[in-house]
Structure 1
C-alpha cells in the first residue's frame, strides 16, 4: 500500500513541477493498482504520459474509466478531465512553454471540440509558435460558433487581443474578413474595435498593397458604427487605390458632409478631388472643388492659431498636391502653401517639443567638433524605394556614390512586405538600409541615432510621414530632391533643382534655398526594356499612319491640353491617338470623346490602351508611337525620360511651375529643342510639324540615340559626382555659418 495519500500526491506534484514525469506517473500507476475506483488518478496519469510524448497511451488511460462509466457519469468525468488538462495548460502558458500548452489544448479540443475558449487559446498558441493555419478558423468551427452567439461568457478583452494578434500575424488571409465580422458584435465599445480594425486596414491596404481587402474590413466596421468619419476617410482612400473610383468619390463626399472642423473639411475635400482627378474626366467638378479647397485653406490660415492634434496636422500638406494639376500659377500657389507648411511644422514641433529640442541641441554641439574633410553621412528618406517612378530614377545616385567619401543610409518609410526586386536592390545598395514603418518619431530617432549629416527627402508632400520627419529636423542639413516640388517646410534648407526646371524668379516664392546643379536635377544610365505587346495591325491602325501617344494618369488630363491634342490630330492626315494611363475607363473615354467631337475629330481615331504589369513592357510599347504628346500644366517626368530613352520625339508645353518644366529640362539635357513649346499655339504647331515631317522625326530619333553616349541626362555617374560636390559645399557652408 502506498504511504499516506496526501504525502504521495504531494510527491507526485513535486515530480511534475521538476519535470520528472516518469516517477510521477509511477506513483499514479501504483495508486491505480491499489485504488482502481478513484477516477481522478487516471486523468493525472494520462496527463503525465502525454507530457512524455506518449499520446496514444495517454488517451488509453483516459478512456479506461470512460468505457466502464454509466451514461449519467460520462459528462461529469469529461468535465473533470478537462479541468485537469486546463490547469496544466494554463501553468505551461504562464511558463511560456507554448508547445506543451498547445499539445494539451489540442487534446482538450478532441474531447470537447466546441469549447470556444479553448479553441481561441489554441489559435493564440499557434500564432506564438508560428504554426497557425488560417483554415483552422473555419475547419474547427470557430467562425460558426462565434456567428451563432453561442460563445457564452467569452472574455471580450481576450477576443479583442486575439483579433489584433491574428490581424498582426496573418493580415492577408481572406478568412480574416469572416473573423472580423463575427467578432464585432462581441465587442461592446466601438472605439475599442476601431483601434483594432483601423491599424489592420492600414497595414493591409498600404504595407501589403491590398486596398480592396482593406476596404472590405472598413465596410464591416462601418456596419457597426456608420458615423465614424475617420473610417470613412480611410475607406475612401482604399476604394480609390483599388480602382473603385465611384465608391471612392461618393465615400469622400459623405466624409466631407460629416466633417465639422476646418482641418477635417480640408482633408475630406482633398479626398474628393483625389478621387475625381484619379478617375479622370470630371473636369468641371474638379475646378469647382479646387476653388473650394483654396478658399478653405485661406480661411484656415486666417483662423490661426487653431489647436491641432498630430493626425490633423499631418493632413494639412497633402491637399495642396492637387492645385498644380489644375493651373500653372506657382507664385500664387506657393504663397498659400508655404504658410500651410509653416503651420504644419510649428504644430509638429510643438507636439514633439522634447525631441525637436534634443535634435537641435545635439546638432549645435556636434558642429563645433566636425571638420570639412570628414566622411559625410548622407541619409535618403522615402516610401518609394521600390517599383515606383521615384524608385526607378533615384537608383543611379545610390549605385554611383563614392563609398570612400560618403556613408549612405536609406530609410524605407512603410517598407513593403511584398515581392519587389527593386526594393530588394535598394536594401542591398546603401551602406546601411533601415526597414521602417509609419511612425515618424521612430524614423527620426533612427536618423538621429545614425548621426546623419545631410538628410535628403525624396517624397516631399506626397507622404505625410516623410514631411513629419523633416519637420522634426533630425539632421543638421536637410534637402528635398526628386519626388515632387519643394514642400515649403521651414526645417528644409535646400531644394535641389537645375538651370531649367525652375525659372530664375522662383527663389522669390520658395522658402528653401534653391540649389541648382550645373546641368540636370536627375540623370539615369538607362532603362530596362522588355518585349513589346502592341502591334498596329492588332489596333486596326494602318502601317503608314502617324501615331501619337499620351501615357499619363487620369489626374494629369487637362481639357485645354486635350483640346490642343485634338487640333493636332485634325491637322495631320491619317493620324491616330493612343491614350494610356490609370483612370476610370468609361469616364476617361467620355472625356476624350466629348472634346474630340467638339473639335470635329472622328472618335474612331482614338485608341485606349490597357495597363501592362511590367514597366519594361510599358517602355517597349512606347515604340509604337511616332510622337508623344506631353500633358500640361503637369508634365510627365518618368514617362518623359522613358520616351526620350526610347528615342521618340516629344512635344511639351513649358510653364512656370516645377511640374510644368520637367520635360523641358529633360529635353534640354538630352540635347533636344525640337518639340519644346512656350505657348499653347507652339504646342499645336510642333505637334503638327512632327506629325507631317517624317524626316524631322528621324533626325530627332537619331539625335536622341546619339545622346545616350554624351548627354548629361544619361550619365548617372557624372550626375552623382555633381550631387556629391553639392553635398560637400552644403556641408562647408554649414560649418562656416
Structure 2
C-alpha cells in the first residue's frame, strides 16, 4: 500500500475520531500530490465544514464542481457529483446517529444546495430543523418539499410496483411525527397530513400518534379546527374509525358544529358492537344531543338504553380492562343529574361504575398502589399534628374556567405559615392564560401535566407521592377521565373532592366537601365518600370583575318599561319541563320578555323554546336569543339588563348564580334533592335571600310572577343583595379560606388518630 493510501486511511480515521483539523491537513497533503482526484476535495471541504469553516468548504467544493463542468463526459460528471452527494449523505447520517444534530443539520443544509431535489435529505433536514427549533413554513416553501412529496405520491398512485424505500419511509415518518407537535407548522399541518399519510407504508401505525397530537392541539392549545382537520384526514384512510369518531364528536361540539357532533356520535353507535363500545358511544351521543340542546327526548331515550348497558356491565364485573378503557368508563354516568333529580339511583350507578374502574386500575398498577400505601403508613407513624401541612390541588380547570374563577379567593388567602400549596395542572394549557399563570405563582410548586391519559395520570400520581402531599383535593370529579387513575392509586393519604362537580364515587376519595344546604341530611346514605360539611358555604369569593355593558334594550327591540327575564345556561341544562314553567311565568306577566343565552345549537334551542312557547300560548316574539360575550367581565356587566333571572332545574346554575347575586339581580330557583339541584339554594341562603327559593313547580311559577310584577319586591331583594356584600359568608373569601383550612387540619387529625 502506497503512502497516499496510508494518508487517506489516516485522514478518514481522524474524521471518525472528530479530529477534523488533523483530517483537513492530511487531505491538503493528499491534494498536493493528487490534484486531479476530485474526491479528495469532497473530503477536504467536509472537514472544513465540520470545523465551522463554511465559506472555505463551499469554495473547495465549488472550485472542484467548476472543474467538472469542463469535462466532456456527462457520465463522469454525474458520477463525480453523485460521489460528493454520497459523501455528504453518509456523514450527515453518521452525525445523526451520534446525536450531533447540529452538525448533521449543517451538512444536510449544504447537501441541499448541491442536490436540492434529494428528497431523503430534505426529509431528514425537516426532522432535524424541528428538533433544533429553527424550521419555518417558508423553509418548506423554499425547499419545495410539498411539491416533491406530491410528485412521489403521484408515482405511488400511477405505478403499481412503485414503493418508496425503507430509508425514505423512516425519514418521512420521523419528520411527519415531529411536525405534529411543532407549532410553527400548524398552519400547513392539514396539507402535510394529506400528502404524507398516503406515502407511509403503514399509515395505521402512525395515526394513533396523530390522534394523540390532535387531542393535545385541541385541549392544551385551543387549536380545535386544526385538530378536527387532522382527525378528518385520518378518517379518510383508517379502517378502524371508532377511536377517531369518539374524539371528533366532542371537538365538533366545542367548535359549535353541533349537527356534526350529533351525526358523528351516531356513527360511533353504528360502529359499536361490544358492550363497552356501546357504552362509550351512547355516552358520546347523550353528550352531543344535550350539548346542542333541543334534543331532550332522544337524549332521554338513549340514556335509558345506557342504564341497561351499565347494569349489564356491573353484572359482568370485568376484571381485565385496559387502562384507557377503565379511565374512559369513569365518566360514562356523568349526565344522569342533568336528566333527572333522583340522587339515590344516580349515585348507585356512579358508585358501582367508579368501584369497577378503580379495581381494574389498581390491578394494572398493583406494585405502585401497594408501594404508595406502605410508604404512607410509614409516614403516618412519624407524622406530627402541628407541622405545616402540604395541600395538593389536582385540576384541569385552574385557568379561565368557572372553577378557576371561583377558587381564586381560597388560593389568595391560604395561610402560608400553616400550609404548603402544590398544584397539579392536568392538560396544562400552552396558550396564554393569565389566570392559569396566576395560579402557578400562588403555589410552592406547580406540576404541568399533558393530556396523554396513559402516562400523565401515572406521572402525576408519582409527583404527588414524591412531593409527600398530605391532603390531595380533586377539583374535577367526573369532568375529566384521566384523573381517575391518579386518584385510584391514592398517592396521598387523605383525598377529598371539592367544587368541580358532584362526588365521583371513587373508593379512594375520603371526603366530599359540601355545606349545610347543598346536600340533604339523608345524602350520606347514598354517598360512598364521607360528606364533610363546611359551616356556612361551599364556596366564597370577594367579588367579580365587571366590565362595561354592551347590551341595551333598544338593541333588542324591547320597550323601556318591559320586564326582562333572563336565563344564561348551556344546552345541557335546558330541561323542557323547566322551560314550560318559564313560559307560564312569561305568559302571566304582561309586557315581559325572556332573554336566552348559553352555549348550544342556536337553531335547535330556538326551535325547542318556540315550540314550548307556542304550546303555552306565548308569542315567539317575546323571546330573544343572545350571543356569547367575548369576556367574562362583559358577560357580568350585561347581566344588569335583566330584572329577574330564571334558574334551571334539575341542574342549577353555579358560577352563573353567583354572578347574578353579585350583580344584585333577583333569581328564581327550584330546589331539588341532588347536589346539582341545590347549588343556587345554598348560595341564596348564604347571601341572606329566601325570596325566589321554590320547592315545587307551583312555587317556581309563583315566585317568577311575583318578582316580575312587583317592582318594590325586586328592589328589596336587590338592596339586600347589595348589603350582603358586607356581611355574607358568600362574599368573604378570607373567612372561607379559614374554614377550608380548619377542615384540612381536622381531616389530618382524624387520619392520624385512626
Normalization by structure 2: what TM-score? 0.94
Kindly tell me: are residues 96 and 226 of structure 1, through their superposed partners in 2, closer, same or farther at Cα, counting changes over 3 Å? closer
SS for the counterpart of 2:335 is helix
- Alignment match of 1:111 (pick from 111, 114, 128): 114
**Preserved CA contact (<8 Å) 2:228 2:252:** yes
- Deviations along 1:283-341, one digit per CA (max 9) or x if unpaired, are 21111111111111112112224532111111223121111111101011112221111
**Preserved CA contact (<8 Å) 2:395 2:476:** yes
Q: Which residue of 2 aligns with 1:389?
A: 402
SS for the counterpart of 1:464 is coil
- Alignment match of 1:146 (pick from 144, 149, 170): 149
CA distance in 2, matches of 1:443, 1:328: 34
Q: Which residue of 2 aligns with 1:100?
A: 103
Q: Which residue of 2 aligns with 1:48?
A: 47
SS for the counterpart of 1:515 is strand
CA displacement at 1:171 relative to structure 2: 7.8
2:325 equivalent to 1:316: no
Query: Which 5+ residue runs of structure 1 have no aligned equivalent?
Result: none
CA distance in 2, matches of 1:87, 1:56: 18
SS for the counterpart of 1:608 is strand
Q: Which residue of 1 aligns with 2:160?
A: none
Farther-moved stretch of structure 1 (516-525 vs 527-536): 527-536
Kindly tell me: are residues 472 and 292 of structure 1, through their superposed partners in 2, closer, same or farther at Cα, counting changes over 3 Å? same
2:710 equivalent to 1:698: no
2:524 equivalent to 1:524: no
Q: Which residue of 1 aligns with 2:34?
A: 35
SS for the counterpart of 1:434 is strand
Q: Which residue of 1 aligns with 2:193?
A: 180
Query: Which 5+ residue runs of structure 2 have no aligned equivalent?
Result: 156-162
- Deviations along 1:193-246, one digit per CA (max 9) or x if unpaired, are 222212111211221122222122111111112433112211222222222111
CA distance in 1, matches of 2:25, 2:367: 64
CA displacement at 1:7 relative to structure 2: 3.0
Kindly tell me: are residues 476 and 39 of structure 1, through their superposed partners in 2, closer, same or farther at Cα, counting changes over 3 Å? same
**Preserved CA contact (<8 Å) 1:380 1:457:** yes
Kindly tell me: are residues 731 and 20 of structure 1, through their superposed partners in 2, closer, same or farther at Cα, counting changes over 3 Å? closer
**Preserved CA contact (<8 Å) 2:186 2:226:** no
Farther-moved stretch of structure 1 (70-79 vs 716-725): 70-79
CA distance in 2, matches of 1:90, 1:311: 38
- Alignment match of 2:303 (pick from 279, 290, 294): 290
**Preserved CA contact (<8 Å) 1:427 1:433:** yes
CA displacement at 1:158 relative to structure 2: 3.5
CA displacement at 1:481 relative to structure 2: 0.3
CA distance in 2, matches of 1:243, 1:172: 25
Aligned positions of 1:129-278 closer than 5 A: 129-149=132-152, 150=155, 152-155=164-167, 156-170=169-183, 173-278=186-291
Q: Which residue of 2 aligns with 1:539?
A: 556
Q: Which residue of 1 aligns with 2:130?
A: 127
SS for the counterpart of 1:320 is coil
Q: Which residue of 2 aligns with 1:352?
A: 365
CA distance in 1, matches of 2:106, 2:645: 66
**Preserved CA contact (<8 Å) 1:172 1:204:** no
SS for the counterpart of 2:429 is coil
**Preserved CA contact (<8 Å) 2:65 2:81:** no
SS for the counterpart of 2:421 is strand
CA displacement at 1:132 relative to structure 2: 1.4
SS for the counterpart of 2:286 is helix
Kindly tell me: are residues 542 and 405 of structure 1, through their superposed partners in 2, closer, same or farther at Cα, counting changes over 3 Å? same
- Alignment match of 1:719 (pick from 732, 736, 748): 736
CA distance in 2, matches of 1:103, 1:189: 31
Q: Which residue of 2 aligns with 1:683?
A: 700
Kindly tell me: are residues 118 and 666 of structure 1, through their superposed partners in 2, closer, same or farther at Cα, counting changes over 3 Å? same
CA distance in 1, matches of 2:652, 2:234: 40
SS for the counterpart of 1:501 is coil
Normalization by structure 1: what TM-score? 0.97
Aligned positions of 1:1-80 closer than 5 A: 4-14=3-13, 16=15, 21=20, 24-51=23-50, 52-54=53-55, 55-70=57-72, 71-80=74-83
Across the aligned residues of Structure 1 and Structure 2, the Cα RMSD in angstroms comes to: 1.8
